[in-house]
Chains A and B, each alone.
Chain A
């Protein structure tokens, strides 16, 4: 069924009894052309673009739990393309362009809202760094505006401009940045892929790989049986090292936990996304009214999907420093997600070092915004066996070759990115 104002009106008149499930919850078949491991945003977007751009529809997405139960359903939904390095800017800007047309492409309301992303600066040196980043963005055709104190005040008068240690001097604004509804992104991609014939298989954990001649990957072992495939593509954010170990190789990745928080619903308050530049705190307001916020990762290896109290304290202190009124809001929920933290803070979209296996990993805390371009470029790699032009720097061999894409300049220490 195509969603439109007419389908809505028709359903309204018939008491909303005619809605059908948006996608097929499929049972696994014996064999596919392509098996995608991981039913998060990236795996489902990959399936959609394989079908849409390359006509490859004999595809299964194999998810160990339910789709969107991983980071896709746990993130703080920020989308932006305000990067500074040449390897990153074209990729994230391509993602932003795909976000801008996503709802038409998927015929699904993903609640993409370009309400602006504002990074605050608190010192001359930080302003200079933001100017440089803003200029790099503009040279690539990305929107960026440098705001002075008064410019920030016009957008967010409630901020604490005269914090004794970290007065707000201004900010770098990306007006086209914003938020999207994370669950809807998952369901929209699932629906579009399913409509083109992709099987979405839930509650099937991949536990090993089948090998063919020459050690080539020939399929997967799952908790719902063996599935053969010509190509296997892994997009298991946070669990990449575990799946790689099943195929016999190691990755430049550590798994870390990131926490997020949401307050009770409040009246409209925060106009866009605001990030504190002197500590690590960022906040936006969901359409339901909750303040959605977070900060640093906990900083130690974890697969536990929950964090510790020191980070809760740190995030709340950051919030109190830039907008003291947040202290009046009650916290509704907090949670954690496990992410691949890579050695340079950037992702990997490449052939795995085993023939027949494709790798999409290392998204750190910023892979939600990348979902459309990640799927687009991964599908391109799988279909054509060559990297997409905007993703050529995300190679696995860049570490050994010394071609890191280190946006933060922190070096090989994953918890510092």
Chain B
């Protein structure tokens, strides 16, 4: 598997650290325990397309949002996380 870092280009997956599903969003501080338990522990864990956070630790050290299919590992798109967040 190779990840095409927007900054560094096509790089071996070895250089990246995986964080996981990019979908969960930290709830507001007063959102309550159930919302936090959901955020910390529950995942969709789809078989198919997923957007996830990868960190280019041995490269430019950017956080990335990678769109990948968990059934084939095929990567459809990679964006810088700070751009995805906008």
Contacts and interface: CB of A to CB of B under 8 A. Distances in A.
A299 B44 CA distance: 17
Contacts of A299: 18
A412 B41 contact: yes
Interface string B50-86: 1010000000000000001011110000000000000
B42 A250 contact: yes
Interface majority SS (helix, strand, loop, mixed), chain B: mixed
A301 B45 contact: yes
Q: Report whether over half of chain A's contact residues are helix, strand or loop; otherwise say mixed.
A: mixed
B10 interface: no
Contact of B12 (A245, A250, A310): A310
Contacts of B14: 310
A308 interface: yes
B13 interface: yes
* Interface hub of B14, B21, B47 (most chain A Cβ within 10 A): B47
Contacts of A304: 70-73
Interface string A307-342: 010100000000000000000000000000000000
A413 B43 CA distance: 11
B8 interface: no
A169 interface: no
A200 to B, nearest CB: 25
A255 B45 CA distance: 7
A241 interface: yes
A374 interface: no
A400 interface: yes
A388 interface: no
A252 B43 contact: yes
Interface of A: 239, 241-242, 245, 250-255, 299-304, 308, 310, 343, 399-400, 412-415
Interface of B: 1, 12-14, 18, 20-21, 33-34, 37, 40-47, 50, 52, 68, 70-73
29 contacts: A241-B45, A241-B46, A242-B45, A250-B45, A251-B42, A251-B43, A251-B45, A252-B41, A252-B43, A253-B43, A253-B45, A254-B20, A254-B43, A254-B45, A300-B52, A301-B20, A301-B21, A301-B45, A301-B50, A302-B73, A308-B73, A310-B13, A343-B40, A343-B41, A399-B41, A412-B40, A413-B20, A414-B20, A415-B18
Closest 9 CB pairs of A and B: A241-B45, A400-B37, A252-B41, A310-B14, A399-B41, A303-B47, A250-B42, A300-B18, A308-B1
